[in-house]
Structure 1
Amino acid sequence: MNFSFSILGKILKMGFHGNIITLNTLMKGLCLNGKVHEALHFHDHVIKQGFQLSQVSYGTLINGLCKMGETRPALQLLRRINQKSTNADVVMYSTIIDSLCKDKSINDAYELYLEMIAKRISPNVITFNNLIYGFCIVGQLKEAFGLFHEMVLKNINPDVYTFNILVDSLYKEGKVKEAMNVLAMMMKKGVKPSVVTYHTLMDGYCLVNQVNKAIKIFNAMVHKGVMPDVQCYNIIINGLCKNKMVGEAMNLFKEMHNRMVVPNVVTYNTLIDGLCKSGKISYAWELVDEMHRIGLQVDVITYNSLLHALCKKNHLDQAIALVKKMKDQGIQPNMSTYNILIDGLCKGGRLKNAQVIFQELLSKGYHLSVWTYNAMINGLCKEGLFDEALALLSRMEDNARRFFFASSEARKDDVVSFGEKFNNLMNSPVMFHSQKVNREMMFRAVKAKSIIAIFKFLGELT
């Protein structure tokens, strides 16, 4: 960029005048290099020199700001444009609408859309796609479909991206029938599916445990001449592993190699997790070795799968050694890592080891989750240490509501843990003490206004 500006300087010294194309090129170059604020200073400088910038100039600056996540400054620049002789256009509005939607400021985005309409700036398919996406990511599908119908009424043809957004959102809400209806509408309008459409369809079927239908989509895609990419394979491999069809997943992995599709970290992590959960930990370690050989970085997700398998088999010394190995390799364990280890140690009768790790996490200021506390309380109950279990529960009194509910909904694993604690207590020989703790837990649950939801979920689980 320095060279570009030095050339501009020489041109000006020779008596030539830079035109708008030259200025736009320089501003675009600055924005592409992440120097948006320098581009804005350059804008101010050329304005002072009497140059009149174009819609392309301002579109470039707004795009640069939005890509840097500076949506509000982009909006301020739009307001400044409206005070000048240059008129704001659909590209500028659509760019800011897109950025607002990605920030989940959907109401602001929609207000900007209404402002466009009021100023008689006609929205295009990109404007609608941005808004539809925005409403979908905040779970407002009704409003998203309202915009879809509005764009059709305005004779703006939805494109493959429009349909992909809607189909993906419907699948994520488990509305498979509605998603298929949108897909049928897409075909009827003659919009050709893209590889992303196939991703969405396969992922949707896998989400509702219909992996066989996902495989049919995969085969249909190949038959139509659309080459599957690594993400296609990852979706099907994940679906197969989740359905305990690890053998089929490994066959698909081999097929990837035959088709010269290069697996990535997600591919390996998915297979390693599937193999670990099916008890084939030795095969999982072979894949870890393969990752090292081909230069793929093993991460915390990889190690967590292996750790879970070791704990499940009660290979607790190996599990502790694995966490140490992670740290030695510069891979920082996350809360899932510690939760798996603490739970494994408690279940394996190594309560003291679990307590050491638990206290270490507290002293280091870790934000402990419901799962962490559940594991420790279960471990204490298992050892008959009811006073300690109650004391630990007391430490959670300030956030008792969060103990049972991550937000406003009870998590089933928390409810199961709650039930397990009750069973442990009621089946213990110290019945009177158990009932005391039981009553105390009940009282705290009522205080958290959670007991109705707890029994409701317990009823669903039994």
Structure 2
Amino acid sequence: MLHNFRWIRALSKQVVLHSHSPCPHYNTLSSHTHECKHEFSVVHFNKSIDALCKSGNTNKAWNLLHSAITKRLPVDVVSFNALLNALGNGGDLCRITFVLAEMEEMETHPNVITYTTLIKAFCKGCRMKEAHELFHKMRMTHCFPDIVTYNTIIDGFCKKGRVDEASVMVAQMIKDGFSPNIITYSTIINGLCKANGEDEALRLVAGMRCVHLSPDIVTYNTLIDGLYKVKRVNEALALLCKMIQDGHVPNTCTYTSVIDGFCKARKTHKAYNIFVQMMKFGPFPNEMTFSAIIDGLYKDGRISEAWDCFHNIWRKGLQLNEITYNYQVENRGCFPNVVTYNILLSALCKTREIRRACEVLDEMELRGLKPNEVTCSTIIYRLCKAGDLGSAHLLMNKMIHNGMAPDVVNYNVLINGYCRARETDKALKLFANMKIFGLTPNLVTYKALIGTFCKEHKLNLAFTMLDEMRGKGLFPNVFTYNKLFCGLRKIHDLRKTFLLMNQMQKQGCVASDTTVKILSWLVDFGQLEKLKDFVNNNSVYYF
């Protein structure tokens, strides 16, 4: 019995039973649970539960199994395992705990498949503590793990970056009489590469050969990708040659790693040559390949080639589609995805090719793809810089419509743009919208508005903004003070000027040469001594 699963009972209370998605034969299967026990076939019932789970009807399988349990029919561990596996694949850890509670009540003992399934589910759900606890509990109940169990928990540790703990599990595995297989080695090698342990990974590959194991294409791809990511290009190429010598044919993942590696090493001519060969002879590139080559070309300043590459990809895809390769092309990743588009948009914005960026954005929307927040922010910034505030504002509204939340930076860019264009009403409307959406204006926001109000001789509004920002614990910098001093100079308001000078001193904000130059008008009004006091950091009073 599962004596140690007390936490299951607590969690199982959270479960709400629900069922949808029709399943053929479900009514027939369900009626079986109304028959007498002696007519109940465990074998057929197990097959029914397994079929429902494999066809994606997990809720139907859940209800059917629960119905059998309620009627105290002799359900065995096989049906439980099938349902646990389906729930684990769907990430439904809550209902998994409920099923375990049912097993305990029925005194159905979990076997090695049960435990392995549970460990896999908890690893997938990033709950390594529970997975590790289950591993130890199965040993305590004399249900000993097999090599699949070991590989499952080793993979879980590696994916969380806990390679040392994965290595401890390998040692335990060997102690229990299991020899690490190709899956074990590939998993550890992948974990080491992600943790920047490429040297250790290379030694592990050499160790594989000592135990008469040869790396498969997954192992090679993992290590080649890891070496390229740390710019160890020559070693990666040597390993690629060794891979081919061992009889493995490089696939799309292999070539994508090579292309990405060359791009990161600023050897885009080699990367582009490989990409062209892939387009001609295969294997066909996927989205990751497209993204890597376009990103590399743009970063290397080869804008025209990247642009041509992007559209050649699309034209190639349409051509293949017309030659009845629709299914193969779509599943082989012929069309650029969101990542590819975002890389292209970001690159176009950096090179200030706003017109092209907007064309790509329109095309992206036609394909049913949505740019991310970073890309939209970049385009909004460039559009504002180019003075196209209407398009920038429209894009921000699209972001909100598509469920993206513009941040303070987005609002500041657009507010600053409207302030520069002297469209103060629109800037204030955006300022109000920020607060409606729960965003807090920062120093940049207030600086833009205060500066504009000063230029437009709306000093009352400028000082209202000053009071508001101070009320929120924000204090103006020397640039904001200079804007205010400029506004006061235009109307020769001595009293407010001296008060502001005094506030600036109390705040500890140091005046710049520009500040003194702006305040030089005080000399014409016989206030040279006051200006000297201010420069010498003495208090300035108005009498």
Same fold, TM exceeding 0.5?
Answer: yes
Deviation readout 1:15-73 (Å, 9 max, x if unpaired): xxxxxxxxxxxxxxxxxxxxxxxxxxxxxxxxxxxxxxxxxxxxxxxxxxxxxxxx977
Deviation readout 1:130-160 (Å, 9 max, x if unpaired): 1111111112111111111211221111011
2:242 corresponds to 1:290: yes
2:254 corresponds to 1:302: yes
Counterpart position of 2:192: 240
3-state SS of 1:449 partner: coil
Correspondences of 1:34-433 after superposition (within 5 Å): 89-117=41-69, 121-363=73-315, 364-365=317-318, 366-397=334-365, 402-404=369-371, 414-421=372-379, 425=382, 431-433=385-387
2:417 corresponds to 1:449: no
TM-score (norm 2): 0.62
- 2: CA distance between counterparts of 1:150 and 1:341? 53
Is the CA contact (8 Å cut-off) linking 2:87 and 2:95 kept in structure 1? yes
Per the TM alignment, residue 374 of structure 1 is displaced from its structure 2 partner at its CA by 1.0
Per the TM alignment, residue 79 of structure 1 is displaced from its structure 2 partner at its CA by 8.9
Per the TM alignment, residue 304 of structure 1 is displaced from its structure 2 partner at its CA by 0.5
Deviation readout 1:191-246 (Å, 9 max, x if unpaired): 10111121122111112211111111112211232111110111110000001110
- 1: CA distance between counterparts of 2:337 and 2:46? 41
Is the CA contact (8 Å cut-off) linking 1:346 and 1:379 kept in structure 2? yes
Per the TM alignment, residue 436 of structure 1 is displaced from its structure 2 partner at its CA by 5.6
**Bigger Rg, which one:** 2
Is the CA contact (8 Å cut-off) linking 1:221 and 1:227 kept in structure 2? yes
Per the TM alignment, residue 395 of structure 1 is displaced from its structure 2 partner at its CA by 3.1
Is the CA contact (8 Å cut-off) linking 1:75 and 1:96 kept in structure 2? no
Residue identity matched to 1:377: L
Counterpart position of 2:473: none
Counterpart position of 2:520: none
3-state SS of 2:387 partner: helix
Residue identity matched to 1:403: K
Per the TM alignment, residue 435 of structure 1 is displaced from its structure 2 partner at its CA by 5.4
- 1: CA distance between counterparts of 2:254 and 2:25? 41
Residue identity matched to 2:303: L
- 2: CA distance between counterparts of 1:230 and 1:453? 47
- 2: CA distance between counterparts of 1:107 and 1:79? 13
- 2: CA distance between counterparts of 1:117 and 1:308? 54
Counterpart position of 2:442: none
3-state SS of 2:370 partner: helix
More deviation in 436-445 or 330-339? Answer: 436-445
Aligned length: 373
More deviation in 370-379 or 239-248? Answer: 370-379
Residue identity matched to 1:391: E
Is the CA contact (8 Å cut-off) linking 1:346 and 1:378 kept in structure 2? no
Is the CA contact (8 Å cut-off) linking 1:237 and 1:249 kept in structure 2? yes
Per the TM alignment, residue 188 of structure 1 is displaced from its structure 2 partner at its CA by 2.1
Unpaired runs of 5+ in structure 2?
A: 1-21, 319-333, 411-438, 440-543
Is the CA contact (8 Å cut-off) linking 1:310 and 1:316 kept in structure 2? yes
Change (3 A) 1:304 1:418: same
Deviation readout 1:306-330 (Å, 9 max, x if unpaired): 0001111222221121023334543
3-state SS of 2:212 partner: coil
Per the TM alignment, residue 82 of structure 1 is displaced from its structure 2 partner at its CA by 10
Per the TM alignment, residue 420 of structure 1 is displaced from its structure 2 partner at its CA by 5.0
- 2: CA distance between counterparts of 1:80 and 1:146? 24
Per the TM alignment, residue 259 of structure 1 is displaced from its structure 2 partner at its CA by 1.1
- 2: CA distance between counterparts of 1:97 and 1:80? 14
- 1: CA distance between counterparts of 2:107 and 2:282? 56
Change (3 A) 1:200 1:96: same
Unpaired runs of 5+ in structure 1?
A: 1-70, 405-413
3-state SS of 1:403 partner: coil
- 1: CA distance between counterparts of 2:144 and 2:60? 33
- 2: CA distance between counterparts of 1:453 and 1:176? 35
Per the TM alignment, residue 184 of structure 1 is displaced from its structure 2 partner at its CA by 2.7
TM-score (norm 1): 0.73
3-state SS of 2:64 partner: helix
- 2: CA distance between counterparts of 1:305 and 1:262? 21
Change (3 A) 1:167 1:74: same
Is the CA contact (8 Å cut-off) linking 1:74 and 1:96 kept in structure 2? no
Is the CA contact (8 Å cut-off) linking 2:88 and 2:120 kept in structure 1? no
Per the TM alignment, residue 92 of structure 1 is displaced from its structure 2 partner at its CA by 1.7
Change (3 A) 1:219 1:171: same
